[in-house]
Amino acid sequence: MSIDLRDGFGRRFTYLRLSVTDACNFRCNYCLPNGYQGKGGKTSTQLPLTLPEIQTLVTAFAAMGTRKIRLTGGEPAIRSDLLQIIEICANTPGIEEVALTTNGYNLTKNVHQWHNAGLSALNLSLDSLNRDQFKAITGMPYFDRIMEGLEKAMAINGMRVKTNAVLLRCFNLDQFESFLEFVRNRNMSARFIELMQTGNNQVFFKDNGLSGSILQQYLQNNLWEIVNRGHLAGPALEYRHRDYLGRIGLIMPYGPEFCASCNRLRISSQGKLHLCLFAEEGLDIRALARSRDVVGIIGKTRLLLEKKHATHYLHQGYTGAAENLAMLGG
């Protein structure tokens, strides 16, 4: 029987973002401009969550009312057992949707296998539709390969596809209309995410951070209409237009009501429960996962959820334990 997982502010949590690695093979200028270094500049000596640990965690959260699992990184496709992780999540009773956020470097090769294993939703990081600008942002020359993978994913019946672009004043703000044209005849959503300040990107944030309300105003002035959120949806505001097949999404963590609709918790690749992306610390539940203690995870999670704050305090310049966005996949 499912347990209704709520915090002290009445928010119900049906969505779990599960990081399966903190490593990433890209060098995005807003996240890991010097590449993945691991803790203290060295590759982490602690291995990420194992398949049995993941099975235990997913089983416990499904019992607590989780209906959607999003697999994140770092870059989750770095893991050679990602297919098995997808299968574990998809075959857990109670889980209705398995989603994946990826940079797409091996999407063409694997997307059909992932879908057959139970993946129903794909978010592709795509910060630019310009080949040179894409390389300037990500540090990688994989634009053509990733676009091929995107088209392949969109051709799969039943796969919901979205792209994610971090909104950057100096790098892609001027490409907004190109993204609008991109979704004109494609059944997908192109989303823009406000750049968030982390422990390691404060200078970059000062130069490139800007409010998504600029794009929101453009959409409203040009007859785009807001779409009602689904019961498992994340924080994006999605807009549609009668002349466009696709949609535009805006994720604005600096917006005044962003935290009021929070429905998601996060687990790091090291088995720590994060009540917020910008929580001061992760709360370790890995020992319980290692011992297959589903009941223990349920009890501790419900207890820890009492500590969840009403807001993330980003407006006050607070970054918590988030050194970079790769730590928890955003």
At residue 243, the 3 state secondary structure works out as: coil
Per-residue pLDDT, 68: 97
Q: Residue length, the chain?
A: 330
Asked if 324 and 26 touch (Cβ cutoff 8 Å), the reply is no
Per-residue pLDDT, 200: 82
Asked if 70 and 15 touch (Cβ cutoff 8 Å), the reply is yes
Per-residue pLDDT, 146: 98
Asked if 272 and 301 touch (Cβ cutoff 8 Å), the reply is no
Per-residue pLDDT, 314: 62
At residue 254, the 3 state secondary structure works out as: coil
At 11, list the tokens. 């928010």
SS (H, E, C) 31-100: CCCCCCCCHHHCCCCCCCCCHHHHHHHHHHHHHCCCCEEEEECCCHHHCCCHHHHHHHHHCCCCCCEEEE
pLDDT of the chain, 330 residues: tens digit per residue: 567 899 888 899 999 999 999 999 999 999 999 999 875 444 455 799 999 999 999 999 999 999 999 999 999 999 999 999 999 999 999 999 999 999 999 999 999 999 999 999 999 999 999 999 999 999 999 999 999 999 999 999 999 999 999 999 999 999 999 999 999 999 999 999 999 888 788 899 999 999 999 999 999 999 999 999 887 888 889 999 999 999 999 999 887 777 887 899 999 999 999 988 766 678 999 999 999 999 999 999 999 888 887 775 565 554 555 567 677 676
Per-residue pLDDT, 125: 98
Per-residue pLDDT, 2: 61
Q: How many of the other CB atoms lie within 10 Å of CB of 174?
A: 11
Structurally, what CATH architecture does the domain formed by 15-327 represent?
A: Alpha-Beta Barrel (3.20)
Per-residue pLDDT, 231: 78
C-alpha span between 117 and 87 (Å, rounded) = 5
